[in-house]
Amino acid sequence: MKLVKIGAMKILSKLLTESNISVAVVEKALKLVETASSTSEGRKEICEDATCVAAILNKVLK
């Protein structure tokens, strides 16, 4: 998947940890993370980045 190959997961992780971004940006970032998680490479990238996992949980459980 191109998202994973170009390193988008690191960028999305950083976006999700920002406290002053709009709801629309958070929703789009979460949608891209969801899309990436549909592949084994995407799931691997997400699971290897503890910051990304924490940011996802923080935003989803908010």
Give the global pTM: 0.84
Q: Which domain holds residue 20?
A: 2-60
pLDDT class of 60 with cuts at 50, 70, 90: confident
Tally of domains in the chain? 1
Return the structure tokens found at 20.
């002053």
Burial class (CB in 10 A: 0-12, 13-18, 19+), 9: buried
End-to-end Cα spacing for the chain: 29
pLDDT at 54 (0 to 100): 93
Distance between CA atoms of residues 42 and 51, nearest Å: 15
Local structure of 11: helix, strand or coil: helix
Q: Note the pLDDT tens digit of each residue in 38-58.
A: 999 999 999 999 999 999 999
pLDDT at 5 (0 to 100): 87
pLDDT at 2 (0 to 100): 84
pLDDT class of 62 with cuts at 50, 70, 90: confident
